[in-house]
Structure 1
Amino acid sequence: MNIALILNYKAATETISCAESLLEHCPLLNHILVIDNHSMDGSEEALRDWVAQKSLENVTVLGSPENNGYAGGNNFGIRWALEHLNAETFWVVNNDTYVDYDAFTPLLETLQQNDRQFVGSLILSADDKTLECYGGGKLFPLLGKAKLLGKGETPETMIERNEQPDYLMGCSLAFTRRVIDEIGLMDENYFMYSEEVDWQYRAKRTGIGIQVVPTSRLFHYGSLSSGSRSAFYHYYRNRAATRFNKRYYGPLFAFISAFILSAITAIKEIRNPNLIWSGVKGAFKGVTMSVK
């Protein structure tokens, strides 16, 4: 069974729009799981009302008992699908996206050729249809930063260049049950940011790869869950970056990157000392967190 998972947090209208586009254009999806990540704002009820009013037998709304971030919410849905739906193929889709054609079949066909990989789509801006990223991005670990691959380029240019990302965006990420059986689920200790990157790097250690499927394209409205200049953003983004570095490059590397990332945050937010402090706290908290 082929399952799409859409994580909702206080954005029921956008989530419904995303799900309806998948229902309309992706016939090989057998079921859509909408996971409300403990929104506590009426979102779960609105989503259930939508399913009931439309009599959607191939859509299930799950209410997570707590907000455990991107990884926790999607893991909750994956576990449920494995237990109740005999799911074999999963497609994680951001709720602030939509499709206007069948973007799932190319992903499925690629996984049928090799089920030991993650596959991702081209992500285009919903506003002006320009390329936001060619599947994912490039990592600069010591800086604690990543750069979207192909942003502003044309899809045709990127296809011709054939440059591959270091990781695939969780905005559109497909994989098989076999991958889960081999490496497990996402690390929920990140809470936000780097979860899917960590997952893919963990998979690489066992020979599981990644692949961009340029014939699969989603349109993206932009982040709905966090602001790009909030204390929340700086704390969790920096914490995730240094924790990731500690796991894959060692404690000393993570410690050095925490200083560099703190300096970068200070330069960017020089007029906002509270934001600087949140970023610094996050960077060094990541260094102290346990990793395996």
Structure 2
Amino acid sequence: MNVALILNYKAATETISCAESLLEHCATINHIVIIDNDSQDGSAIAFQNWLDEKAYSNVTLLCNPENSGYAGGNNYGLRWAMEHLQPEHFWVINNDTYVDSDAFSPLLEALQRNNRQFVGSLVLSADTGRLECYGGGKLYPILGKARLLGKDQSIEASQQQNPQHAPDYIMGCSLAFSAALTEEIGLMDEDYFMYFEEVDWQYRARRFGISTSVIAESRLYHYGSLSLGNRSAFYHYYRNRAATRFNKRFYGPIFAVVSAFLLSAVTTIKEYKNPTLAWSGIKGAFKGVAMSVE
């Protein structure tokens, strides 16, 4: 069985649109699991009304009793599916996306050829049709930053250029993998809460010989932008905390401390007119260094 997971937080309309596009175009998806991450805005009621009206036998709604972030919400769905559905493959997909063709079958074919990998799609802007990312991005760990690969390119240009420059990680916007892989490497680290969860997961998987691939035949459309431009205290704190915690795990505590100073400097320069936001970023950067990692 092939299972798609869609995590919702206060966006029932977008989530339903995403699910309906998968039901229409992705015949090789056998079951869709929608996880409401304790939205407390009526999302769960909206989903239940939709399911009552449509009477889908292959869609399950789960209500997470707490908002446990991207990793915790998806892990909640993964655990339930592993216990109740006997899945062979999973596809984690953002709720603010949709497909207009069968974007899953190319991912499935890649996994059937080699199930020891994470695979991802081309993510296109719903507004322009141009790339938001060629599957994922490049990391600059010492700065705590990442760059989306192929951003704003046309599909034609991306096919010529980006296969020569594989991303360091696959975006969690579209991430497919075998169920057996989760049993081997475990689930996502929920201590991140926001940001870097799927990057950490893929880097941990490398220790088991798991690779990553972009499947250009798989394409989905994303509303808005993948670029995190909402300059809030929440964003700066959790984004910087995640970056330095990631660095501590994979590059060591000294590297993490250096990156915390550099990331704090970058945040301060960007937010020099907003000292409260800058301070949130600085606190997050050094909190990530202090957090425990295995």
TM-score by length of 1: 0.98
Q: Which residue of 2 aligns with 1:71?
A: 71
Q: Which amino acid aligns with 1:203?
A: A
- The Cα shift of 1:154 comes to 2.2
* In structure 1, distance between residues paired with 2:52 and 2:189: 33
* In structure 2, distance between residues paired with 1:222 and 1:141: 26
- The Cα shift of 1:88 comes to 1.1
Unaligned runs of 5+ in 2: none
Find the residue that maps to 1:235 and give its secondary structure: helix
Q: Which residue of 1 aligns with 2:96?
A: 96
Say whether residues 1:287 and 2:289 are aligned partners: yes
Indicate if the aligned counterparts of 2:2 and 2:28 stay in contact, CA closer than 8 A.
yes
- The Cα shift of 1:227 comes to 6.3
* In structure 1, distance between residues paired with 2:224 and 2:237: 20
**Residue in structure 1 matching 2:220, options 193, 218, 221:** 218
Percent identical:
70
Q: Which residue of 1 aligns with 2:147?
A: 147
Q: Which amino acid aligns with 1:193?
A: Y
- The Cα shift of 1:55 comes to 0.6
Unaligned runs of 5+ in 1: none
* In structure 1, distance between residues paired with 2:155 and 2:292: 40
- The Cα shift of 1:45 comes to 1.1
Q: Which residue of 1 aligns with 2:209?
A: 207
Q: Which residue of 2 aligns with 1:34?
A: 34
**Residue in structure 2 matching 1:233, options 232, 235, 257:** 235
For 1:94-243, list aligned pairs within 5 A: 94-161=94-161, 162=163, 163-222=165-224, 228-243=230-245
- The Cα shift of 1:223 comes to 6.2
- The Cα shift of 1:156 comes to 2.5
Indicate if the aligned counterparts of 1:106 and 1:215 stay in contact, CA closer than 8 A.
yes
Find the residue that maps to 1:153 and give its secondary structure: coil
Moved over 3 A (4+): none
Q: CA RMSD in A?
A: 1.1
Find the residue that maps to 2:263 and give its secondary structure: helix
* In structure 2, distance between residues paired with 1:223 and 1:60: 28
Q: Which residue of 2 aligns with 1:249?
A: 251
* In structure 1, distance between residues paired with 2:118 and 2:180: 11
Q: Which amino acid aligns with 2:113?
A: Q
Indicate if the aligned counterparts of 1:167 and 1:210 stay in contact, CA closer than 8 A.
yes
Indicate if the aligned counterparts of 2:125 and 2:225 stay in contact, CA closer than 8 A.
no
* In structure 2, distance between residues paired with 1:160 and 1:182: 35
Which whole-Å deviations, capped at 9, do the CAs of 1:226-260 have from their partners, x for residues lacking one?
86211100000000000000000000000000010
* In structure 1, distance between residues paired with 2:233 and 2:127: 27
Q: Which amino acid aligns with 1:130?
A: R
Say whether residues 1:61 and 2:83 are aligned partners: no
Indicate if the aligned counterparts of 1:134 and 1:155 stay in contact, CA closer than 8 A.
no
Q: Which amino acid aligns with 1:236?
A: Y
* In structure 2, distance between residues paired with 1:222 and 1:236: 21
Indicate if the aligned counterparts of 2:257 and 2:286 stay in contact, CA closer than 8 A.
yes
Find the residue that maps to 1:281 and give its secondary structure: helix
